[in-house]
Structure 1
Amino acid sequence: FAHGAKNILALVREKSPGAKVYFYETWARPDKVYLDGASYRGEGLQAMQTDLHDSYLRVASLSKAVGLVLVGQSFLKAIEDGVAVVSPYNEVEDGKVDLWAHDHFHASKYGSYLSACTFFAAITGEDPSAIANGDGSPAASLGVEQEVATRL
């Protein structure tokens, strides 16, 4: 991972020396945590997310021109805050959303909205909750309920 990141940074610097590069920290994969034989079986999402996060922090240390979009950390926080379910393999509990799509790997509309908010905050430095309201908002266009958008 770090080798590939270094190559990307070198390519960007060559073509656009002043550019800032943002790396998209992915989320812990439930299929790698909850299924029999999974590499993080029995360790929980936190263990996998910690490993992912540490890898991205190492990449960020390569250059001041590297920014991180901590989507994986946002997923974990939504789970820890009780907004999202811990495992998409269980029935969705009342008042919670499933951040993962039916394949339990890609993001659902809720996970996609949370990802977009995380990108918005990382790039602009602004609080995305200000854009989560009303008809025509990004949340509404994804079919994310206003109350859920605010909690995410």
Structure 2
Amino acid sequence: MTCAYALDEPDDPCPQRSGRLSFARERGDTNLAGVARYVLVPIGNAIAWAVERLLRPPLVFLIRYLVIKPGALLYRYVLAPVGRYVLAPIVYALIGALLFAGSVSTVVFDFLIVRPLSWLWRAVLVPIRNHVLAPIGRAIRATLRPIGNATREILRAFRIGGRAVPPGR
């Protein structure tokens, strides 16, 4: 017995029952499964049959002969020849012009961007690295090296019986 549709029994552990009819019947639900099975499903099947047998063939015919076939003919006899004999030479000429402009723009890019940046790297940033940042790094290393050595000695002192302390303990 399910908790929703069976008559209640006094010692039933179902929390939805209160000694009367089940929760679903209290809120006014009737046997909707029978309505769905014997009324709604046949109506839905009839609608599906009508669409499949009565509406689909004319729609397929109309779409095939009013949309697909004219579109295929338009592509075959108008769009393809126009593209082949009119647009293709124009596109090829544009591609050639862009390739030539690309070679010119490569030279311009080299002189306006690449060479100034390489000069900036060699003349400004490398000397700053060598003469400013490197001494600061050496000073920091000289300051932190004794701290690291002391930490290493402290950790070495924690070894027990010649074995290292297992990590995590």
Normalising to structure 1: TM-score of the pair?
0.15
Larger Rg: 2
Q: Which has the higher contact order (CA 8 A, sep 6+)?
A: 1
**Structure richer in helix, relative to its length:** 2
